[in-house]
Amino acid sequence: MNEQHQNERARIREAIDRLLTGQATVSNGSLTVVALAAEAGVHRMALLKRHADLKNEFYERIRTETAQVPEAEKRLRNDVSKLKERVANLTTQNGELKDQATHLALAGAVLADRLRTAEQAGRLPDNVVCFPKP
């Protein structure tokens, strides 16, 4: 690793310590990657791509030292719970629609059978017109 890379890593580690102790100097002090990047003076994508291990270390230290869940994880957990609820609702709706389709198919079959029986007996209702047979 070159010296610039080592310098970035040192600044990130110092920024992690400042954020975890609540002594942020540049950022808003939130426990997020964006605040960490701002506090360390590095681009967020550099932190995510070149220093992913430090990002993971930051999140692990948030869990162990502050007994908090990182903001990104909170958002993801919230999204997952909403999506699970939506899947459950859609599964219920799907079951209801399948039941309705079955009932409609049965009703159609009953009506077709009644029509065939009435046609054979020669007593069709006045409002029914049968298609001519080919």
Count Cα atoms within 13 angstroms, Cβ side, for 72: 13
Digit-coded pLDDT (tens) for 96-126? 999 999 999 999 999 888 888 877 777 777 7
Digit-coded pLDDT (tens) for 22-54? 888 888 888 888 999 999 999 999 888 889 899
Full-model pTM = 0.54
Q: How far is CA 14 from each of CA 10, 11, 39, 58, 101, rounded to the nearest angstrom?
A: 6, 5, 9, 11, 63
Asked if residue 26 lies in contact with residue 39, where contact means CB atoms within 8 angstroms, the answer is: yes
Packed helices 33-40 and 52-66: angle between N→C axes, nearest 10 degrees = 110
Asked if residue 59 lies in contact with residue 32, where contact means CB atoms within 8 angstroms, the answer is: no
Q: Which two tokens stand for residue 92?
A: 């219920």
pLDDT higher than threshold 70 for residue 73: yes
